[in-house]
Amino acid sequence: MFEYFYHEILRRTIVSFGTLFNNIEIQQTDSSDNVKNVVKVPLAYGPTQKFLARIEQSADLSKKVQISLPRMSFEFTGLQYDPSRKVTTTQTFVTQNVEDKSEVRKAYMPVPYNMSFELSIYTKLNDDMLQIVEQILPYFQPSYNLTVDLVESIGEKRDIPVVIENISMQDDYEGDFNSRRALYYTIRFTAKTYMFGPVQDTSAASKDIIKKVSIGYVAGDTTKSPSRDITYSVIPRAIKSYTDNVVTNLSSDIGASGKYVEVNDSSVIPDGSYIVVDNEEMYVLSIISDTKIKVERGKDGTGAASHVSGAEVKLITDADDAAIEIGDDFGFDGL
């Protein structure tokens, strides 16, 4: 049932989330409001407790050889399935390998999951904390879309909404007079990502579908002296354009009964091929001119319909045959 694959989706989402906060700065001013120092707030991956323990054990928070404030850390804290974004589990989509544009690959629709993150901010001064928080909150209204390359092999990039769930604050002032003060805020986020299963290429998919069917039988009074021997042979083909291969457009309207189709360029449509206009499949009988073709309408039960000028004309090719999905009737019309 299971096979090995690893798209690094969780890792890519974690890294992308961290990059949102790796360029935050604070400005320190003097009594005349002149900027005397600009500090880039360092960001690290780790739990809040680890940094709090380090702060408490540091004798001097201003020493550069020890941990210094301000500082931020983030952590991936949970993963939950999101049924509100669920689609049909057997629905598939077809794409191309980013390295080989001619190779068609098929994948099932991804599964939606919510990733929980905690961003912890530590400062010694309240103004430093307010500067950091104010640089973060305005971007989430209530979410910020983070573009992540989830599956690099097929170039599957998606916008991952990152939502602020809540903010908690704590001012650690308890202790004796010599104790250092530590302010720390915790902002909790949810990133709505997707989990992809294995991506199947055409070479692997072709091993699992029927390439040719032959049926033979004899007829007559007895099997010893048949009167005829007949064999029917059918090669399956796609009945829709999985690759959305748009080759031209209609140059004029066509009614449901029309046998001739006007297009911008008929040179890209071979004789004996199948085309799709909107949801109707047509068989190309002949090329009449550079802009006119003769067709058979409503093939494979799609039904003839009216189409307007400018509609896309998609050509069904061998690449579509290789991408036949489960549930396709392989061109058999039952007759």
Q: What is the pLDDT of residues 26-47, one digit of tens each?
A: 988 888 888 888 889 988 887 7
Identify which of 111, 129, 122 has the alpha carbon closest to the alpha carbon of residue 68.
Answer: 122
In this structure, the answer to whether residues 171 and 211 fall within a common structural domain is no
- CATH code at position 189: 3.30.2000.40
In a domain, 326, yes or no: no
Half-sphere exposure (CA, 13 Å, Cβ side) for 20?
Answer: 29
How many angstroms separate the Cα of 227 from the Cα of each of 6, 215, 216, 221? Answer: 60, 17, 14, 8
In this structure, the answer to whether residues 171 and 230 fall within a common structural domain is no
Estimate to the nearest angstrom the gap between the alpha carbon of 205 and the chain centroid. Answer: 21
In a domain, 60, yes or no: yes
The structure tokens listed for 71 are: 């500082």
In this structure, the answer to whether residues 135 and 260 fall within a common structural domain is no
In this structure, the answer to whether residues 179 and 209 fall within a common structural domain is no
In this structure, the answer to whether residues 59 and 102 fall within a common structural domain is yes
Identify the pLDDT of residue 217: 54
122, 183 contact by CB (below 8 A): yes
Spans in the chain with pLDDT lower than 70: 1-2, 48-67, 88-106, 172-181, 201-236, 323-335
In this structure, the answer to whether residues 53 and 155 fall within a common structural domain is yes
Total number of domains constituting the chain? 3
In this structure, the answer to whether residues 61 and 138 fall within a common structural domain is yes
How many angstroms separate the Cα of 201 from the Cα of each of 23, 65, 95? Answer: 40, 53, 10
Identify the pLDDT of residue 153: 75
In a domain, 59, yes or no: yes
In this structure, the answer to whether residues 170 and 56 fall within a common structural domain is yes
In a domain, 330, yes or no: no
Pairing mode of beta strands 213-219, 228-234: antiparallel
Identify which of 326, 305, 329 has the alpha carbon closest to the alpha carbon of residue 239.
Answer: 329
In a domain, 164, yes or no: yes
In a domain, 328, yes or no: no
The structure tokens listed for 254 are: 């066509």
132, 119 contact by CB (below 8 A): no
Identify the pLDDT of residue 333: 40
Q: Which domain holds residue 68?
A: 9-201
Identify the pLDDT of residue 173: 60
Q: Is the pTM of this model over 0.85?
A: no
Identify which of 187, 156, 185, 189 has the alpha carbon closest to the alpha carbon of residue 171.
Answer: 185
The structure tokens listed for 222 are: 């007895």
Q: From its phi and psi, is residue 33 left (phi > 0), alpha (psi between -120 and 50) or beta?
A: left
How does DSSP classify residue 320? H
Half-sphere exposure (CA, 13 Å, Cβ side) for 217?
Answer: 4
CA dist., res. 18 & res. 117, Å (int): 10
In this structure, the answer to whether residues 165 and 208 fall within a common structural domain is no
In this structure, the answer to whether residues 299 and 215 fall within a common structural domain is no
In this structure, the answer to whether residues 47 and 74 fall within a common structural domain is yes
CA dist., res. 55 & res. 70, Å (int): 11
In this structure, the answer to whether residues 150 and 229 fall within a common structural domain is no
Using the 3D structure, point to which of 214, 234, 254 is the last residue of a domain: 234
Identify the pLDDT of residue 132: 93
In a domain, 334, yes or no: no
CA dist., res. 16 & res. 32, Å (int): 39
Identify the pLDDT of residue 160: 92
Q: Which residues pair with 195 in a beta bridge?
A: 111
- CATH code at position 302: 2.40.33
CA dist., res. 334 & res. 303, Å (int): 16
Identify the pLDDT of residue 328: 44
The structure tokens listed for 201 are: 């290429």
CA dist., res. 66 & res. 322, Å (int): 61
In a domain, 335, yes or no: no
